[in-house]
């Protein structure tokens, strides 16, 4: 609920549980009840905290707009233009001006059908000289009961690690200065009641839909005011607005959960599924060649792999890094997007024909934003390398640099190469990678150019799908997902690590957008050995794929994998449309998660033994999300129905199943099998 009375910027009176229909006559009372009293040694009038907090209005925290004009840093003071407030279809647009500062402001705040608050700001320089913009950071207020924060951090191969801690006075600031979203990006900054979890506690979360440098903050003042805020992080001098120029902040998405993180995440999932560009075809079982062959590509080997992939039920075959000119390892070739005749003397057509003849789509790996100094492109145009200073290059990462796509001629060259490649071959899918941080370079224009390149290629090739990959999960945000069809969740395919990574990435994204592959028996990134059932059962709940040299797998392994592929193909209508649920099980060694159909008629759950437990047997587990008053038949689901653990006697209900009301399953639960660590079992609940 927004207060737009007077000439000040809009103020949020309430963001939280649905209050129902509030009579118009009571709105003034609600506004009056929100005004705090004044206290000694404070301003004579209460400080209004708008959706763009203003220092000029007395806000002592981070200002919503900061910048300067020729060194003059007067705090802007905006006044809403008379008659500029437009409110329709749950979307509010407000125009405001600061005549003395030579600035105009547009605020957009909306409430989507999924219940997300969606907002952004735009500032226009109406003065005579340039305006140096430092930051534009809209904010949403928080109530007093939001006393804890949850943010995420991580690194390559271990993205999305949670941090839950007290929300104290001051500013908790998370900044991403990597030129991309980053493996350590918080994804969501969430505040909530003490001890909140997936199924309990009131929570509020904010996401910045931007793929470059960004900042997200939670701030609490001694006056009892608290906000979540976010926007693009602009480096000093990066953005100078000429007279008449306008800058739009990224969209901010705010989500609320009355009963925990699952409700908050569910709003994001419903919003993404309702967008026009959301994938509407069944998500194909994808085999990617990277961990199968790495750079060692040849036609005969890859045709054998394609036949093995088709045998187990794969529907898409993706040729990863190593197909283009000079690319025998990661030292050279980026930028030279021509099929390498030394490896592919007859081009990619023979492989593509084989793949498509086996009934699979064909995909290809590219990294268009990058360049190797050891490449024909870099030798011909060394000035196309993105650098903050012309006299030195940034530190190398993976032996590569960044191609300056904000330079029109560099952009045109890469656009032409990709367009030509897509016109010359029947390519259904691009795995679009981004394998290094930008380090010391400004990122705004590079990010907008990348968005434009993706957008233009999608217009030219409307059937093309794109995966956002960035050293795995380093570019996961709603900005890049406006023009891509899934993310590569992590370069780590170790199933135990993936349980963690997928659990927390799922706060923002629904399962069908999370690429998850069945790797080799020994994980290439950690050296751990896992059973095939644990690896496949972990990938099942996302966009399922394979990253394994199936030509080296035994016949028994391929047959078992084919069972899991068949289960995924049967379940994906449910998994990719239903409601994701996660149980707050008291034993941290045993995780419970699942997906419940939209009509609650069916659900699939996984019981995952993450580590050894201090207790055995495991005890009861609750299965959330079912219709409380309906009866459900609960039974193990093959092929994930074989509990393996130290106790060999079966549970009494395991073989024949059990019928119980949804309320009982959610509040009382059932006895779980005792599993060896790093094992899982599947359960299916069907409404009777």
Q: Which residues are catalytic?
A: 433, 491
What is the torsion angle, in degrees rounded to the nearest 10, for the CA atoms of residue 491, residue 494, residue 497 and residue 500? 80
Strands 214-220 and 203-208: unpaired
Check if the beta carbon of residue 403 is closer than 8 Å to that of residue 436. Answer: no
Strands 316-319 and 286-288: parallel
> Which of 289, 397, 426 minimizes the C-alpha distance to 334?
397
Calpha distance 460→457 (Å, rounded): 5
Neighbour tally for 91: CB within 10 Å:
14
CA dist list (Å): 9 to 51, 94, 97, 556? 7, 8, 10, 66
- Reduce the DSSP state of residue 651 to 3 states and report it: coil
Phi, psi (5° rounding) for residue 464?
A: -75, 135
Which residues touch 461 (CB under 8 Å, ≥6 apart)? 419, 422
Name 516's bridge partners: 544
How many contiguous H segments (helices) and E segments (strands) does the chain have? 12, 38
Name 2's bridge partners: 12
Name 191's bridge partners: 149, 204
Burial 370-408 (b: 16+ CB within 10 A, else e): bbbbbbebbeebeebbbbeeeeebbeeeeebbbbbbbbe
275: its two tokens? 């967008």
Degrees (nearest 5) of the Cα angle 682, 685, 686? 140
Sheet holding 239-241, edge to edge: 65-68, 131-136, 239-241
DSSP string, 376-394: HHHHH-GGGB--SBTTBPP
Name 166's bridge partners: 148
Check if the beta carbon of residue 342 is closer than 8 Å to that of residue 310. Answer: no
> Which of 313, 306, 337, 132 minimizes the C-alpha distance to 235?
132
Phi, psi (5° rounding) for residue 126?
A: -100, 5
């Amino acid at each position: 609920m927004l207060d737009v009375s007077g000439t000040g910027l809009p103020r949020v009176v309430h963001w939280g549980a649905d209050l129902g229909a509030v009579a118009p006559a009571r709105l003034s009372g609600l506004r009056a009840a929100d005004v705090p009293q004044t206290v000694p040694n404070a301003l004579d009038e209460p400080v209004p905290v708008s959706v763009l907090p203003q220092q000029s209005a007395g806000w002592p925290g981070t200002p919503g707009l900061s910048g300067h004009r020729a060194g003059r840093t007067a705090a802007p003071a905006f006044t809403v233009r008379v008659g500029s407030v437009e409110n329709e279809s749950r979307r509010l647009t407000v125009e405001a001006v600061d005549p003395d500062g030579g600035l105009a402001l547009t605020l957009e705040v909306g409430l989507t059908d999924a219940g997300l608050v969606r907002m952004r700001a735009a500032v226009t320089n109406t003065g005579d000289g340039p305006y140096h913009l430092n930051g534009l950071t809209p904010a949403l207020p928080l109530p007093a009961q939001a006393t804890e924060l949850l943010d995420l951090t991580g690194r390559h191969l271990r993205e999305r690690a949670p941090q839950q801690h007290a929300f104290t006075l001051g500013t908790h600031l998370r900044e991403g200065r990597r030129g991309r979203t980053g493996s350590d990006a918080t994804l969501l900054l969430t505040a909530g009641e003490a001890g909140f979890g997936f199924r309990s506690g009131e929570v509020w979360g904010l996401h910045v839909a931007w793929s470059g440098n960004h900042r997200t903050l939670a701030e609490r003042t001694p006056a009892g005011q608290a906000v979540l805020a976010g926007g693009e992080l602009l480096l000093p001098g990066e953005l100078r607005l000429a007279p008449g120029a306008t800058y739009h902040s990224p969209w901010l998405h705010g989500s609320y959960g009355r009963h925990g993180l699952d409700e908050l995440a569910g709003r994001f999932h419903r919003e993404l599924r309702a967008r026009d560009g959301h994938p509407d075809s069944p998500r194909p079982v994808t085999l990617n060649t990277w961990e199968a062959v790495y750079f060692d590509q040849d036609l005969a080997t890859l045709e054998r792999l394609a036949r093995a992939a088709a045998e187990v039920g794969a529907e898409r075959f993706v040729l990863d890094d190593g197909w283009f000119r000079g690319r025998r390892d990661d030292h050279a070739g980026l930028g030279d997007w021509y099929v390498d005749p030394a490896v592919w003397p007859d081009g990619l057509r023979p492989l593509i024909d084989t793949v498509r003849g086996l009934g699979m789509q064909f995909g290809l790996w590219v990294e268009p934003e990058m360049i190797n100094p050891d490449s024909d492109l870099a030798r011909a145009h060394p000035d196309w390398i993105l650098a903050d200073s012309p006299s030195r290059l940034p530190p190398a990462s993976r032996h590569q640099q960044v191609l300056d796509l904000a330079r029109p001629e560099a952009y045109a060259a890469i656009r032409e190469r990709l367009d030509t490649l897509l016109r010359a071959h029947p390519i259904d899918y691009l795995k679009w990678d981004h394998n290094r941080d930008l380090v010391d370079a400004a990122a705004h224009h590079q990010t907008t150019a990348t968005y434009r390149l993706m957008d233009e290629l999608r217009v030219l090739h409307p059937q093309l799908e794109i995966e956002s990959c960035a050293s795995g999960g380093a570019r996961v945000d709603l900005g890049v997902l406006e023009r891509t069809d899934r993310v590569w969740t992590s370069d780590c395919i170790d199933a135990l690590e993936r349980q963690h990574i997928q659990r927390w990435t799922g706060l923002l994204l629904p399962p069908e957008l999370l690429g998850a592959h069945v790797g080799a028996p020994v994980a290439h990134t950690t050296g751990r050995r896992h059973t095939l059932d644990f690896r496949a059962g972990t990938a099942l709940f996302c966009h399922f794929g394979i990253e394994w040299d199936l030509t080296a797998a035994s016949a028994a392994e391929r047959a078992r994998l084919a069972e899991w592929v068949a289960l995924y193909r049967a379940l994906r209508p449910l998994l990719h449309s239903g409601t994701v649920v996660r149980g707050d099980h008291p034993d941290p060694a045993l995780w419970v998660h699942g997906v419940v159909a939209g009509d609650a008629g069916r659900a699939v759950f996984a019981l995952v033994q993450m580590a050894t437990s201090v207790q055995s047997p495991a005890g009861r587990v609750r299965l959330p999300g079912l219709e409380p008053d309906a009866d459900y038949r609960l039974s193990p689901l093959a092929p994930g129905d074989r509990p393996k653990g130290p106790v060999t006697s079966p549970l009494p209900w395991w073989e024949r199943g059990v019928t119980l009301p949804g309320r009982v399953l959610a509040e009382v639960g059932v006895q779980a099998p005792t599993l060896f660590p790093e094992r899982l079992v599947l359960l299916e609940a069907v409404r009777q």
